[in-house]
Structure 1
Amino acid sequence: MTTTGGTVRLTRYARGGGCACKIPPGELEDVVAGLAATPAASSTAAGAQVLIGLETGDDAAVVRVADDGPAVVATADFFTPVVDDPYDWGRIAAANALSDVYAVGGRPLVAVNLLAWPRDVLSFDLAREVLRGGLDVAAEAGCHVGGGHSVDDAEPKYGMAVTGVADPGRLLRNDRGRAGLPLSLTKPLGIGVLNNRHKATGEVFPQAVQAMVALNREAAEAALRAGVECATDVTGFGLLGHLYKLARASGVTAVVDASAVPCLDGARRAVRDGFVSGGTRRNLAWVAPHTDFGGADEETRLLLADAQTSGGLLVAGEIPGAPVIGELVPRREHVLVVR
């Protein structure tokens, strides 16, 4: 039976939700180990120079195609429904895909849709709303949408493959952190646990939707103006997971002031009430051997590892409007320290 709009709980058609349905970071690293066929900063047969590749698990691929021109940025991101409203899901998925371009200091130019749809179960009217949401956010970003690809699938999924440009001399990378730099975070945590509560109960959290649909464009532009060289975005691996990758790639230790990390209203209550995804627990298990948690309680640890969808930028530097949540220091026994 085909369902139509209005009261459809899209999240009921997905095992996971949003970026929480990513393959766990440790498992993913095992899968891609040894697959970096084109080393960063090397040239391909066609003469294109890879500036950012697979080596450090950065947010997007960046390739210089001409000595005197911009670099090309390429990325793709898609996921299962994170909210029940199809239009909002489309907006969130598009903002999340575009974020990878912003996270390396780029500007998105063109995107193509990636859509998987259970055509015998869910109405194409809902799919149209998803695509409309993606189109509207892409338009806000000044990014063209040129078609895409669709498949008939048992589980609905949506996202975008995005191509952009960047100044090859002013990239944001996750391996350029230096001891002495502050750490700033541009969106609050808690998106994951609120989305998980939404999936379980149907309760809507406008503060979470507002955070997820917000573009990271202004944050990236502010980081570039401030001369920042090191950044990443915070998505499915949580703040601690992405910070671990950044600190590991940069050869430093990251110290997090847990009391300075902003969280969405209702996030701590959602953790206390048990709305914690399996993805968040896997994130915490992955970073735990490399982290000195000090006196941080379980609630704080779970929030710091909360699997975000379309989260903010994590910047090694100070930018206007973003709270400073810690600092980078010379490498210690642990890669991460929570105080």
Structure 2
Amino acid sequence: MNTDPTSSTSTGPGAPTPSGTTREDRSARVAVTVFPLLILAAAAFAFLVPSAGLAIAPATNVFLGVIMFAMGLTLTIPDFTLVVKRPLPVLIGVLAQYLVMPLVGFGVTVLLQLPPELAAGVILVGCAPGGTSSNVINYLSKADTALSVTMTSISTLLAPLLTPLLTLWLAGAYLPIPAGEMAMSIVKMVLIPVVAGLVIRLLFSRIVDRILPALPWVSVVGISLVVIAVVSGSVDQIVAAGALVLLAVVLHNGFGYLLGFWFARVLRQPIRTSRTVSVEVGMQNSGMAATLAASYFSPAAALPGAVFSIWHNLSGALLAMYYRRSAAKQDADPREVRPSA
């Protein structure tokens, strides 16, 4: 979601305050700080009271649709113009998204010798598009927020095609992959809600602008409900393999950040762009992955997505602090190219 204050109008809810921030900016900062705590609380609640989560489990598709609709509401047509203005960074970012994370996920399953259901779940997380919270983390990292929004948008639009195909390719040896059905589910749960949100933003921009500060919380609540539903159905698996799943998620996420950064640097991208790619690649739409895994595989296969939802928000907040502190030195790189406003 776009949290760049430069995108706000000079008046109204998104207007800069005397301190130079906007309501949307402040809301995003609070959300990204509180988000991990709420996700942890949701997971603990589901673990202790699994019956409550099982009651809402049939609605996980709806929760994901609401999250993606909220993402669509944050988008504008200019978010897609970078595809024309700066095609190379966008191409590099999306290529890294669908190359680095799927292969890292597969590598982690081989390294840890994960059982088939967990292996399929980890790979599915890797084949998912970028997560919406990556845009907030990139803004707080002083990275290229506009590029992040474009990358998330493009990778999401490509998800109905690439996520099932990559999952079939890399996880087909572990479990049967209903790629066609999965593609249709992504269209219904992800693509249609995002496009609907974008259209409504175009038609009713003034109304939507007023609710932008609340949209990060829609994602917070939606992901929390998905986590509750998934964890509630995976209590036995958490007890049996929780530490192993956490290790797989930490490795997957960490190598995503690291390789995403160096993927961009090797291709001669500025440090600011490389930070953006790093965050975008490392943070996945794990809610989508968990929902698909629960629908087409098993509760155990959905566990990596649920744990990833918790972990990547914790690690993303820490990475934002690191990138923000080192931004002054990194931005001094003479190869740094700043996009025009």
Query: If the length of structure 2 is used for normalisation, what is the TM-score?
Result: 0.30
Decide which structure has greater helix share.
2
Larger RCO, structure (CA 8 Å, separation 6 or more): 2
Query: If the length of structure 1 is used for normalisation, what is the TM-score?
Result: 0.31
Decide which structure has greater strand share.
1
